[in-house]
Amino acid sequence: MRSEPAVTPVGPSLILAHQLLLLHVLLVPSLGCDGRANVEHRTFPEGGMLADAVPVPQVSLPALRGIFTTDGELRRFGDLVSVHSTASGVSLFGDEDARYALLDAGCLEDGSRLVLEGEHRVAVDVDTGLLRFEVEPPSLAAALCRGDADASDPGLHPGARLSGVYGEGDDLPDLPAGASFTGPLVPIDDFTVASHRGGCRTIDDCGVSENSIEAVVSAERFGATSVEIDVRFTRDGVPVLYHDAKLSSRLTRGRYCVGEIANLDLAHLQANCRLRFGEAMPTLEEALDAALGQTNLRAVWLDVKSDQDVPTLVEITRRINARAEALGRSFRVFIGCPSQAVYDAFVALGPPDVPCLVELSLDDVIAAGCEIWGPRYTLGPMAEEVARARAAGIRTVFWTVNGQEFIDLLLTDSDPAGLLTDRPHLVFHRDQMLRGGYE
Amino acid sequence: MTRALTGAWLVFAVTAWAPSVADAQEGEGTTAEEHDGDLGEALRGGLDTNVWLVEAQLGIAGSIVERGPQVTESDGAPLGVLAAFTTGLRTDYFVTPAIDIAYYGLGRSTDRVVDPSGAEGVIDNRLQLATVSFGLLVDLWRFRIRFGTGAFHLALDTRTGGVEAETSRWDFGWLLGIAGYFYRDEGRQLGFEGRVAIDAGSDIVVLTLGLVATVDALSF
C-alpha cells in the first residue's frame, strides 16, 4: 500500500519550470558580465585635432595644474576638478562618480592655440566619452606653446580657462563644457597617493593590465606618486609581477597559460602567457627600471608574498635604490611585510638597510625600524595610533581605500601620510579638496 | 559568478529533492514501475528495488581562450578527447542524482611563438582536465539536462628550450550539459550530449560534444 507523500502535491512540470526560471534569473546576468568591466575606450577619429599638432613644451604642462570650477557638461565631474599634469599630458579628476579624464596636449596654428583632447571615464561604472578643450585666453595658450610660462607657478593665473566640448559614448563631443581656474593645487610632496597593483586593477579596465610595466608607467597620469606591485617567483628564481600564486584567465590570456607560477620557468611564462590587455608579464627588475627611468614616481612598494623571497628582494631593492641615488632621483623601493612570516624573515636579516613597510601592528613597525606602517582601512581611522606613529617618525599609509566616504573619513579623522588605492585620481582629488579648504 | 552558481545550485537541489525525500520518509523506495516504458522486463516485474543509471560518453573537447602570445606557426590541435562515465540513482521523478568522472584533453601542440623581446621560440604544450562532479540529471522526454559541481584538476605539461615543466591546480568547478536521445529502448538510450565545464579557479570554460550511451541497471 502506498501512502500519500507528506508534502503538498506539486506537479513535476511546475517544479521544473520554477527551477528553470530561478536558474535563468540567477545565472544569465552573471555569465554575461563575467565579473569584468566591459569598458569601451574612446579615441578621436583619425587622431582628432591633435593629429596635426606639435607637442607642448614639457616645461609648460605643470603650469596647467590647479583647481578649476566646472561649467556646462563638465559639471558631471562635480563642482570642482583637480587638473593634474605629467610628461604624458593633462588629467582631470572629479569626485562625482569618481570621474576622471586623461587628455593629450598639443599646439596648433603656429603655437597660437593649445588643445587638450582625450577620454573621460566614470570610474565607478563603465561609461566613457570624449573631451576636447582649448586653453584660454589665447595669450596664455601662446605663452604655454612657446614655453614661456613660468613652470614654477603653481597654477594658471586668474581668468584662465579650459573651454570646450563634451561627448558621451561614441558621439563626437558637441556639448558645451568648461572649467575656470579657481586656485592652485596644494603641494602633494608630503602625501603619498599609492596606486594598487601597479596602477589599475585589470578588473577596473583602465586600458592596461595590473602589475604591468604599462600600468606602472601610466600611474602618474592617475595622480599616483607611488605604486604597489605584487611579486612572485618563477621556478628558476626570477621575480615577476603577478598577484596570485596561480595563473588564471582573470589576469592572463593564452591557451596554455595555467598552473602555478612557482612551477614554471620564466621562459615558459613568456612563451605561453600574456596579461589580459596583451602585455608581457614583466620581471621585477624590468618594472623597477621602468619606474626609475620612465616616471617621476617617488616610491615602489613591493608586496612580498613569501618569507623565502625576502633575501633576494632585499638585494634587488638595495641595488635599485643605489642606482636611484646615483641618478639623483628621489625614488625608493620599499620592502613590504604583509604577514608575520615575511616580517620575521625580514627582521632576521638584521637592522634594515633598505626602506621597509609593515602591515602588522605599529609596535612591529617600531621594533623592525621601518619607516611606514600600512594598516588596513577597515580598522578605522585609529587617530591616536596614527599620531603615535607620527611622533615616532613613522608614516602611516592605509590600504586599500577606494570609496570616497572612507577616503574622506581617513583624511579628516587621522591625517595619514598616504593611502593605497585602486582609484588614485579620487584620492588625489579628495586630498586637494580637503587640504585645500574647498570643503 | 561562483556565488550565483552556488545559489542556483542550492535552489535547484532543494526544490528538486524535496518530493523524493518526502516519499522516502513515508517508507517509499524508488520502484521500478515508476519508470514505465524505459526499463526491461525484469524491472517491470514489480521489483521494489533501486535502479541505477550507468552511462559512458566519448567525444571531443576544447576550451574557450583568448589568444595569448603571438603564434607564428603551430603543429597540433586545440582540441582533445572527452571520455566520461556517469552513474546515478533513478528517483520517483525525472530527477536523477548522479556522479560524473570525466577526462578532457584540451589541446596538444608545438608552437613557434614570439617572446616579449620579439625573438621566436618553440614550445610544446599539453593541457588536460580531469573532473569528479556530483549533480543532477533532469529527464524531459528525449532530452536531459545535467547540472553538477565538483573537483577539477587542470594539468599542463610544457617544454621550451629543452626545459620541461609540469604544473597543475585543483579547483572547484561547474558542469552543465544537455543531451538529446535519438534511440531509446528498454532502459537503453543513445544520443549526443553537449557539455560546458567551468573551472572556477582558472576561469577556463570547456565545451564538449560527445556520443552518450545510457543504460538503466538494477542494484543489488
Q: CB contact, 8 Å: A2 with chain B?
A: yes
Give B 34-93 residues with CB within 8 A of chain A: 63, 65-69, 78, 93
Interatomic CA distance for residues B2 and B200, integer angstroms: 7
Partners of A176 in beta bridges: A165
C-alpha cell at A296: 617621476
Q: How far apart are CA A380 and CA A365, in angstroms?
A: 18
The residue among A156, A183, A210 that closes a domain is A183
Cell output for A100: 576622471
- pLDDT, tens digit, for every residue of B143-201? 999 999 999 999 999 999 999 999 999 999 999 999 999 998 888 999 999 999 999 98
Nearest to B119 by CA among B72, B157, B74, B67: B72
| C-alpha torsion sign, points A251, A253, A258, A262 | negative
Q: What does pTM read for this prediction?
A: 0.83
Q: Is A20 helix (H, G, I), strand (E, B) or coil?
A: helix
Beta-carbon separation of A34 and B1 below 8 A: yes
Q: Which helix (H) or strand (E) is B89 found in, with range?
A: strand B79-89
Contacts 24+ apart (CB under 8 A), A358-362: A359/A399, A362/A388, A362/A389, A362/A392, A362/A394
Q: Does pLDDT of B19 surpass 60?
A: no
Residue A30 lies in a domain: no
B211 φ, ψ (degrees, to nearest 5):
-90, 125
In B, minimum Cα distance to A253 occurs at B68
Q: Residue A222 and residue A93: Cα distance in Å, rounded?
A: 8
Given this model, what pLDDT does residue A432 score?
97
Top residue of A13, A24, A268, A273 to mutate, by most chain B CBs within 10 Å, is A268
The minimum CA-CA distance between A285 and chain B, rounded to whole Å, is 15
C-alpha span between B111 and B137 (Å, rounded)? 40
> Which among B137, B169, B152 has a CA at the least distance from the CA of B205?
B152
Same domain membership, residue A113 and residue A75: yes
Over residues B4-29, mean pLDDT: 42
Tell me how far apart the alpha carbons of residues B147 and B196 are, in angstroms, rounded to a whole number. Answer: 10
Query: A312: domain CATH number?
Result: 3.20.20.190
Chain B residues closer than 8 Å to A290 by CB: none
**A interface test, pick of B140, B167, B168, B170 with most A CB neighbours within 10 Å:** B167
The grid coordinates listed for A127 are 561609461
Q: How far is CA A247 from CA A93, A258, B43, B130, in A?
A: 34, 5, 50, 18
CA neighbor of A303 nearest in space, from A166, A156, A197: A197
Considering the domain boundaries, does residue A162 fall inside one? yes
Domain shared by A274 and A384, yes or no? yes
* Domain assignment of residue A26, yes or no: no
Residue B69 scores a pLDDT above 50: yes
The last residue of a domain, from among A159, A183, A207: A183
Q: Tell me, yes or no, if A267 comes closer than 8 A to chain B by beta carbon.
A: yes
A162 and A199 fall within a common domain: no
Query: In this predicted structure, what is the pLDDT of residue A166?
Result: 97
CB < 8 Å from A in window 149-168 of B:
154-156, 158, 160-161, 163, 165-168
Q: From CA B39, how far away is CA B36, in angstroms rounded? A: 7
Please report the pLDDT score of residue B71 as a whole number. Answer: 84
* Same domain flag for A257 and A274: yes
State how far the Cα of A323 lies from the Cα of A315, in Å rounded to an integer. 13
| Contact with chain B for residue A280, Cβ under 8 A | yes
Could you tell me which residues are beta bridge partners of residue A73? none
In this structure, is residue A98 part of a structural domain? yes
3-class DSSP state of A44: coil
Spell out the alpha helix ranges (H) of A332-414: 340-348, 362-368, 383-391, 404-413
User: In angstroms, rounded to a whole number, what is the distance separating the alpha carbons of residues A52 and A107?
Assistant: 9
CB nearest B116 (choices: A252, A263, A280): A280
Residues A365 and A279 in one domain: yes
Q: Given an 8 Å threshold on Cβ–Cβ distance, is A271 in contact with B121?
A: yes
Chains A and B: how many Cβ contacts under 8 Å? 152
Q: How far is it, in rounded angstroms, from Cα A179 to Cα A182?
A: 9
A371, three cell numbers: 619607516
Give the C-alpha distances (Å, rounded to integers) separating B183 from A376, B33, B38, B187: 62, 21, 11, 10
Residues A294, A317: Cα–Cα separation, whole Å: 18
The amino acid present at B159, given as its one-letter code, is: R
Residues A336 and A205 in one domain: yes
State how many domains chain A has: 2
Q: Indicate whether B31 pLDDT > 60.
A: no
The residue with greater pLDDT, A176 or B33, is A176
- Asked whether the ipTM of the predicted complex exceeds the cut of 0.90, the reply is no
Which residue in the set A18, A248, A253 is minimally distant from B68, CB to CB?
A253
- pLDDT band for B73, please (50, 70, 90 cuts): confident
Express as a percent the part of chain B with pLDDT over 90: 55
Instruction: Report the pLDDT value the prediction gives residue A101, as an integer from 0 to 100.
Output: 98
A267 and A371 housed in the same domain:
yes
Identify whether A155 is part of a domain. yes
Peptide bond into A239 cis (omega under 30): no
Helix (H, G, I), strand (E, B) or coil at A329: coil
Residue in chain A lying closest to B13 (CA): A19
> pLDDT-derived band of residue B23, with 50, 70 and 90 as boundaries?
very low
Q: Which residues of chain A have pLDDT under 50?
A: 1-36
* Contact residues, chain B, for A258 at CB < 8 Å: 127, 154, 156, 167, 169, 202, 204
Indicate whether A28 belongs to any domain: no
Q: What is the pLDDT of residue A37?
A: 55
B23 touches chain A (CB under 8 A): yes
Q: Quick: pLDDT tens for B46-67.
A: 446 678 899 999 999 999 888 8
- Shared domain for A277 and A375, answered yes or no, is yes
In terms of residue numbers, what domain contains A127?
45-183
Q: Is A26 on the interface with B (CB under 8 A)?
A: yes
Q: pLDDT tens-digit profile of B122-136?
A: 999 999 999 999 999
Max alpha carbon distance in chain B (Å)?
A: 73
Q: Are residues A340 and A260 in the same domain?
A: yes
Of B12, B65, B201, the CB nearest to A246: B201
Averaged confidence pLDDT in chain B: 81
| pLDDT of B115 over the 90 cut | no
Q: What confidence tier does B78 reach under pLDDT thresholds 50, 70, 90?
A: confident
Domain boundary among A183, A211, A227: A183
**B157: β partners:** B126, B166
Asked if B115 and A271 come within 8 Å (Cβ–Cβ), the reply is yes
Lookup result for grid cell 572612507: A406
Give which of A18, A256, A257, A268 to mutate to test B binding, by max B Cβ within 10 Å: A256
Q: How far apart are CA B189 and CA B142, in angstroms?
A: 9
Does residue A339 sit in the same domain as residue A430? yes
Note the pLDDT of residue A154.
56
Same domain, A149 and A234: no
Residues A173, A205 share a domain? no
Between the alpha carbon of residue B16 and those of residues B9, B19, B174, the distances in Å are 10, 7, 18
Chain A residues 221-260 within an 8 A CB cutoff of chain B: 235, 246-250, 252-260
In this structure, are strands A299-304 and A226-233 parallel, antiparallel, or unpaired?
parallel
